[in-house]
Chain A
Amino acid sequence: MINEKMLITKNTCIAPKIYELTVQGDLVDLIREPGQFVHIKVSDGTLPLLRRPISIASINRNTKELTLIYRVDGVGTKTLSLRSQGDRLEILGPLGHGFPLDVINQGETAVLVGGGIGVPPLYELSKSLSKKGIKVIHVLGFRTLEDTFYQKQFEELGKTVIVTDDGSSKFKGTVIDALQLLNLNYQVMYACGPTPMLAALENGYSDKPLYLSLEERMGCAVGACMACVCHTVDEDDEKGYRKVCSDGPVFKSGEVKLSC
């Protein structure tokens, strides 16, 4: 984990309000697993004051680049979208524990379920799994077809089902509806997206290993300020809580309570 002024090599809009940001630096060498995130100081001053947590969407160790995909929402991500190629961006990372790769073997099948801005970290995960000889199936939900991003990139790695709320893609509904219809044969499921989506997966798909990436408002993002904690499901757990930033953001289904 380091704090580095990384060089912006790309920061472009790839879908309405969705940006793809690529930065270059030594931090890339330290990334251990897909699903880890970085904490970004989007401006040099106090507006905004706090950093913003964004998942690592893909890495290129040869060029020492990492790519982030973010949605412009409030002041922080808006400011980030205005930073240009050639600028330096102060980034702390890599942070947290990501998706485990050693829970699945070569030749087996993984299902990757993403919702909206939860889709990005699944891309590096899918690349890593594919490299290990694991078959990947992607079920990705967006509001409309226009909001979709990275469809081609995912399709290159494995079967990709795009689900939209309004039915502008082939599948209308939620990723949960799609999973029910598809009735996939798989060994491990990985997911990232809005909490209601994660809760529905936990309800219906906990019979096999299921790993969920959580989101919570953070202060320090290194485990010191206790802002992003959630309760453990196990009431006898010694600590009774986990920190999303440093124990997570990825947890095995059943480890923490999602209502947090």
Chain B
Amino acid sequence: MLNVKLPGLDMKNPVMPASGCFSFGKEYGDFFDLNLLGAIAIKSATKEARFGNPTPRVAETTAGMLNAIGLQNPGVEHILDHELKDLEGIDTPILANIAGKQVDDYVYTAEKMSQSPRVNALELNISCPNVKEGGITFGTVPEIAAHLTEKVKAVSDVPVYVKLSPNVSDIVGMAKAVEEAGADGLSMINTLMGMRINLKTQKPILANKAGGLSGPAIKPVAIRMIYEVSQNVNIPIIGMGGIQDADDVIEFFLAGASAVAVGTANFVDPFCCPNIIKELPEKLKQMNVDHIDELRGRSWGRC
């Protein structure tokens, strides 16, 4: 009733934690069995280790949060040798997210990462708003995104998903460009650029000043974008942005997603993912649906 099959990702259920919100799984593995998850999107890996931005790195907003972590991670080699080794005991597919400053960084990281037997697919983060160089520019110019996708596809042994930025005016154009360049799937959406100012200090709360907005506040933006993109591409979409419960997952499927990722909600409730997975069958029964896939794209009449 819940199993879904996407390129490289043979999932028991359509729910995975989103990149950057679950580290490499170890912490949440203390709360529940990671085998319950449909897949795991691990924290963005870069060629070299990165320390990230100064603190404060997070600020709360109405029904959401801003973050400017700055892609802190121990670097691809360390991740292959340690963090991914720690995940060998579980059989949940891994979607390895990668980021970089320039095309060569992505290619290097993608090649290494895709050769790991523990990695089932790559997710190209071309949309991180929190790094000064690269990052967002890859995500806002379709030609550049397409070029990067092609280069990474050429070296990757596993399917490649491109994670799109919502900070663009033509999301469909962007999606089509990376599809043509060979992307096997899309992840959407990454965070929206935002800022909060502290009334006492009269300065931005985040040390980085601006950050990426996530959480329930961005859900309608994600739904609209997936609704439009899914009607214009032939590759599957991993939907994300503000998912908190089973109803949200169903809404993403109705919009056109083939699987979903849960980010910020893990911070609110560490058991969020397994709880959603547990609730889904009952919801589907109530809707008279035998398999969740039947809901995909129903809002625009795919079925």
The stretch that binds B, out of A20-28, A78-86, A102-110, A228-236, is A228-236
A223 contacts partner chain B, Cβ-Cβ < 8 Å:
yes
Closest 10 CB pairs of A and B: A224-B23, A227-B58, A224-B27, A46-B63, A220-B267, A217-B56, A226-B72, A219-B267, A227-B57, A223-B27
B266, A218: Cβ atoms under 8 Å? no
With A48-B60, A49-B60 already in contact, the answer to whether A224 and B51 are too (CB < 8 A) is no
The stretch that binds A, out of B107-115, B138-146, B154-162, B268-276, is B268-276
Which partner residue on chain A sits nearest B68 by CB separation? A227
Known: A217-B57, A218-B58, A240-B51. 15 other contacts (CB 8 A): A41-B269, A46-B63, A49-B61, A49-B215, A49-B268, A216-B56, A223-B27, A225-B69, A226-B43, A227-B56, A227-B58, A229-B51, A229-B52, A229-B55, A231-B51
A239 contacts partner chain B, Cβ-Cβ < 8 Å:
yes
CA A218 to CA B67, docked complex, whole Å? 10
B281 contacts partner chain A, Cβ-Cβ < 8 Å:
no
With A50-B268, A222-B270 already in contact, the answer to whether A227 and B21 are too (CB < 8 A) is no
CA A144 to CA B31, docked complex, whole Å? 43
B22, A227: Cβ atoms under 8 Å? no
- Give the residues in chain A near B270, CB-CB below 8 Å: 3, 92, 220, 222
- Give the residues in chain B near A222, CB-CB below 8 Å: 27-28, 30, 270
A260, B54: Cβ atoms under 8 Å? yes
CA A46 to CA B265, docked complex, whole Å? 10
Residues of B within 8 A of A (CB): 20-23, 27-28, 30-31, 43, 49, 51-52, 54-65, 67, 69, 72, 74, 215-216, 244, 264, 266-271
Among B27, B266, B269, residue most surrounded by chain A Cβ atoms (within 10 Å)? B27
- Give the residues in chain B near A260, CB-CB below 8 Å: 54-55
Residues of A within 8 A of B (CB): 1, 3, 41, 46-51, 76, 90, 92, 216-231, 239-241, 246, 260
Task: Tell me which of A50, A225, A241 contacts B23 (CB under 8 A).
Answer: A225
Task: Tell me which of A224, A228, A229 contacts B266 (CB under 8 A).
Answer: A224
With A47-B62, A49-B216 already in contact, the answer to whether A225 and B20 are too (CB < 8 A) is yes
A217, B55: Cβ atoms under 8 Å? yes
- Give the residues in chain B near A41, CB-CB below 8 Å: 268-269
CA A51 to CA B30, docked complex, whole Å? 19
- Give the residues in chain A near B264, CB-CB below 8 Å: 49, 219
- Give the residues in chain A near B267, CB-CB below 8 Å: 50-51, 219-221, 225
CA A217 to CA B27, docked complex, whole Å? 18
- Give the residues in chain A near B43, CB-CB below 8 Å: 226
* A228, chain B: closest CB distance, angstroms: 7
CA A224 to CA B61, docked complex, whole Å? 20
Task: Tell me which of B27, B28, B54, B57 contacts A246 (CB under 8 A).
Answer: B27
* B200, chain A: closest CB distance, angstroms: 10
CA A47 to CA B55, docked complex, whole Å? 24
Task: Tell me which of B27, B57, B59 contacts A220 (CB under 8 A).
Answer: B27
B27, A227: Cβ atoms under 8 Å? no
* B193, chain A: closest CB distance, angstroms: 18
- Give the residues in chain A near B57, CB-CB below 8 Å: 217, 226-229
Which partner residue on chain B sits nearest A1 by CB separation? B30
B58, A217: Cβ atoms under 8 Å? yes
CA A63 to CA B62, docked complex, whole Å? 37
* B140, chain A: closest CB distance, angstroms: 25
CA A97 to CA B258, docked complex, whole Å? 41
With A50-B60, A225-B21, A231-B51 already in contact, the answer to whether A220 and B266 are too (CB < 8 A) is yes
Which partner residue on chain A sits nearest B264 by CB separation? A49
* A133, chain B: closest CB distance, angstroms: 35
A and B contact pairs by CB, cutoff 8 A, 6 listed: A50-B267, A92-B270, A217-B59, A219-B67, A222-B28, A226-B23
